[in-house]
């Protein structure tokens, strides 16, 4: 992808002895793994096993009960990651273009809106409010956040949810070029995305 | 003492004997203080025997504010050092403080009827106390409506701290407001002019309230800790 | 554009785009309309009671806006993205509050003029009423941010927000209504300004602390 250059500093992610709990219940204990530049980490586990909590902990949104999470080779910790959650973080009344502009300001990016829209096949619906989009289009718009501002680490929670075959192809392409640039992708998935993972993390239960 | 009690096991051992001791102490002070206040202290030269309600009213007013100050301190400790027992203490104290504020309002109203000739007067102190009472209710309501106890503890601690900033501002505003609306004709009862012979029973009653607060709060804390133990045992059972 | 700028623009667009700002204005007029119906049309009575009642109506109209303020952001995942922005959450919350003030607070203050006329307030006092209402709305919104953030995860939390926030409304109501009634205007106005400033400065800090906990 020509929109941005590769991540110069060789980012890496290290999780050490991580213990997470929700509402007083321990989800898992002493989880460790590490991922270097270009890694694709697939997090597997049954429903309610703590996949989402693991991603939220790495994102810094959930305070771990124990253990450490570290990013190396990341210049500014505040610019280290993107988190694609289950919820798309879209407002029904705002248009696709509104969202792209908002994210550019919120995350400090300077994208060519048309380029982003074209890549994700959202050009035709650019001016339309989110409430008229299909579920697949809404998910693709959420994916656009990853491209609007570059971040070395992507945390993806069921990224393929609601995507059709073409959407999945776009997603895989995004991940591939992200890795080619030296970025790290961590995805929590119910069924494999079809990209060969460099590491599989099983969340125990 | 706080560092010593921060350990839950030590706290449970300490509170197991401290709670009944405080209850007995409160009882003794009430047994001494109530007859002293009602029969053996001089009647007010203006208000006569009705002034004796002061011995119930004034300590309730003092400690309703004191309890909020206690909750503010506990909330601060809980928020900054993430101390579970501090959270539990703040939560356990709130209903007691709310009842003290309620007692103060009710006895104030009862006192107002014979002296001011009205059941309610928008006097500066009564109005501030009403705001304090509502603040207590909001605090308790927030605790009750958030299921995750850890999150509830942090959020209510924030509410308690901003409430502690608000209350002095309310006090100042209400004083400003009541001088604007009521020239000094309304009698400032129960204020600075407490005769020394009234001080003995008043302080005894204040001590009784304080010990009662301590006993009820400890009891409440113990109940919370026991309930959590039962719940986590049930959760472990459900998971295995 | 900065994170503050885009948040401000987006919130304002969402407020007005959905016609959402009309509802609190309508509510405000509706509430003031009930006053003469309850008190009778007596001119002298309305003249003394009218301006303070405009203040009560404005406070209630702001209160009605608070329930969904952060709840929708929590539910649709927007709050996570705000937390991941390199800009401090306090600044983003301040931007939301500023948008609410411009989108709802200022229109409410302007609507205070016709409402006060209808309640027989003297015409020469209108500028003062509008100005003080604008300051008061800032104070209401500042503390309202905290109440909304504390109850963001509570379903049907409207009544609880009111209970939490109303004690904080007491000081601005006292000084605002005094200004509107023309009592001790200079002192009351300067203290009201202090309330607005304090709430606008401290509100976003406390609200952001609460929102971080809500996201966990």
SS3 assignment, position B188: coil
Question: How many contacts, defined by CB atoms under 8 Å, are there between A and C?
Answer: 76
Q: CA of A90 to nearest chain C CA: how many angstroms apart? A: 7
pLDDT at residue number B39: 82
Q: CA of C203 to nearest chain A CA: how many angstroms apart? A: 21
Facing C10 at nearest CB: one of A63, A82, A94: A94
pLDDT at residue number B123: 79
Residues 6+ apart with CB under 8 A from A137: A122, A125
* CB contacts, 8 Å: A25 with chain B: 235, 239
- CB–CB contact B147 A23 (8 Å): yes
Q: What is the pLDDT of residues B119-168, one digit of tens each?
A: 887 878 888 899 999 999 999 999 999 988 889 999 999 999 999 999 99
Q: CA of C15 to nearest chain A CA: how many angstroms apart? A: 10
pLDDT at C144 over 80: yes
Residue with the bigger pLDDT between C91 and C51: it is C91
Neighbouring-strand partners of residue A31: A18
pLDDT at residue number A205: 54
Residue A49: count other Cβ atoms within 10 Å of its Cβ.
Answer: 18
Neighbouring-strand partners of residue A156: A84, A187
- CB–CB contact A24 B239 (8 Å): no
Instruction: Indicate the pLDDT class of residue A4, thresholds 50, 70 and 90.
Output: very low
Q: What is the pLDDT of residues A157-196, one digit of tens each?
A: 999 888 888 889 999 999 999 999 999 999 998 888 888 8
Q: What is the pLDDT of residues B53-87, one digit of tens each?
A: 888 999 999 999 999 999 999 999 999 988 889 99
pLDDT at B237 over 90: no
Given the structure tokens 């998910």, which residue do they identify?
A: A139
pLDDT at A6 over 80: no
Closest CA to A195 of A166, A175, A181: A175
* CB contacts, 8 Å: A24 with chain B: 149-150, 231-232, 235
SS3 track for C60-94: HHHHHHCCCCCHHHHHHCHHHHHHHCCCCHHHHHH
Facing B131 at nearest CB: one of C160, C170, C202: C170
Instruction: Indicate the pLDDT class of residue A7, thresholds 50, 70 and 90.
Output: confident
Structure tokens belonging to residue B110: 């009862």
CB B129 within 8 A of CB B112: no
Burial class for A79, CB neighbours closer than 10 Å (0-12, 13-18, 19+):
middle
Q: What is the pLDDT of residues C23-63, one digit of tens each?
A: 889 999 998 888 888 888 888 888 888 888 899 999 999 99
The Cα diameter of chain B in Å comes to 72
Compute the average pLDDT of residues C62-68: 89
Q: Report the distance separating Cα B234 and Cα A92, nearest Å.
A: 42
Compute the average pLDDT of residues C72-85: 94
pTM for the model stands at 0.90
- CB–CB contact B176 C191 (8 Å): yes
Distances (CA, A) of B100 to B60, B119, C86, C207: 5, 19, 46, 29
Instruction: Indicate the pLDDT class of residue A3, thresholds 50, 70 and 90.
Output: very low
Q: Report the distance separating Cα A179 and Cα A11, nearest Å.
A: 11
ipTM here: 0.91
Structure tokens belonging to residue C25: 């204005």
Instruction: Indicate the pLDDT class of residue B3, thresholds 50, 70 and 90.
Output: low
| Phi/psi of residue A189, nearest 5 degrees | -135, 150
- CB–CB contact C84 A59 (8 Å): yes
pLDDT at residue number B46: 67
- CB–CB contact C153 B131 (8 Å): no
């Amino acid at each position: 992808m020509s929109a941005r250059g590769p991540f110069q500093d060789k980012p890496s992610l290290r999780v050490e002895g991580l213990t997470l709990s929700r509402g007083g219940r321990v989800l898992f204990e002493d989880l460790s793994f590490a991922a270097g530049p270009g890694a694709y980490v697939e997090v597997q586990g049954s429903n309610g096993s703590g996949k989402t909590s693991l991603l939220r902990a790495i994102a810094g949104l959930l305070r771990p009960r124990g253990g450490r999470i570290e990013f190396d080779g990341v210049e500014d910790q505040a610019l280290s990651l993107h988190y694609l959650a289950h919820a798309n973080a879209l407002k029904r009344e705002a248009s696709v273009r509104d969202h792209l502009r908002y994210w550019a300001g919120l995350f400090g990016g300077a994208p060519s809106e048309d380029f982003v829209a074209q890549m994700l096949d959202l050009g035709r619906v650019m001016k339309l409010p989110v409430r008229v989009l299909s579920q697949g289009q809404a998910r693709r718009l959420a994916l656009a956040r990853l491209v609007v501002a570059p971040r070395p680490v992507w945390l993806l929670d069921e990224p393929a949810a609601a995507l059709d075959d073409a959407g999945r192809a776009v997603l895989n392409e995004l991940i591939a070029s992200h890795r080619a640039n030296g970025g790290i992708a961590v995805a929590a998935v119910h069924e494999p995305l079809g990209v060969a993972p460099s590491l599989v993390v099983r969340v125990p239960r | 003492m706080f560092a010593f009690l921060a350990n839950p096991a030590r706290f449970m051992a300490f509170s197991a004997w401290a709670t009944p001791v405080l209850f007995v102490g409160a009882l003794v002070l009430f047994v001494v203080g109530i007859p002293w206040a009602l029969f053996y202290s001089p009647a007010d030269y203006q208000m006569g025997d009705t002034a004796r309600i002061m011995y119930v009213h004034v300590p309730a007013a003092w400690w309703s504010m004191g309890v909020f100050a206690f909750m503010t301190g506990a909330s601060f400790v809980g928020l900054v050092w993430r101390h579970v027992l501090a959270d539990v203490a703040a939560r356990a104290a709130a209903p007691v403080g709310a009842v003290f504020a309620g007692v103060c309002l009710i006895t104030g109203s009862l006192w107002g009827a014979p002296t001011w000739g009205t059941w309610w007067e928008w006097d500066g102190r009564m109005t501030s106390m009403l705001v304090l009472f509502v603040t207590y209710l909001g605090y308790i309501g927030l605790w009750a409506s958030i299921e995750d106890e850890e999150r509830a503890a942090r959020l209510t601690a924030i509410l308690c701290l901003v409430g502690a900033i608000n209350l002095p501002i309310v006090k100042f505003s209400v004083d400003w407001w009541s001088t604007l609306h009521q020239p000094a004709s309304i009698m400032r009862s129960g204020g600075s002019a407490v005769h020394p012979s009234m001080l003995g029973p008043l302080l005894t009653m204040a001590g009784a309230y304080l010990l009662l607060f301590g006993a009820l709060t400890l009891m409440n804390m113990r109940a919370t800790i026991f309930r959590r133990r039962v719940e986590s045992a049930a959760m472990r059972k459900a998971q295995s | 554009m900065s994170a503050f700028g885009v948040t401000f623009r987006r919130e304002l667009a969402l407020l007005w785009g959905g016609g959402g700002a009309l509802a609190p204005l309508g509510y405000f007029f509706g509430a003031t309309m009930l006053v003469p119906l309850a008190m009778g049309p007596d001119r002298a009575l309305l003249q003394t009671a009218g301006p303070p009642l405009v203040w009560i109506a404005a406070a209630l109209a702001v209160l009605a806006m608070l329930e969904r303020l952060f709840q929708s952001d929590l539910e649709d995942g927007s709050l996570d993205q705000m937390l991941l922005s390199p800009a401090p959450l306090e600044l983003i919350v301040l931007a939301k509050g500023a948008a609410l003030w411009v989108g709802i607070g200022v229109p409410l203050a302007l609507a205070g003029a016709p409402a006060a006329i209808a309640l027989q307030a003297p015409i020469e006092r209108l500028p003062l009423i509008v100005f003080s209402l604008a300051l008061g709305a800032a104070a209401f919104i500042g503390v309202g941010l905290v109440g909304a953030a504390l109850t963001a995860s509570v379903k049907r939390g409207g009544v609880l927000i009111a209970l939490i926030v109303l004690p904080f409304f007491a000081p601005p109501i006292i000084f605002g209504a005094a200004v509107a009634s023309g009592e001790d205007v200079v002192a009351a106005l300067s203290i009201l300004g202090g309330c607005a400033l304090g709430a606008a400065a401290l509100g976003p800090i406390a609200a952001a602390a609460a929102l971080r906990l809500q996201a966990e």
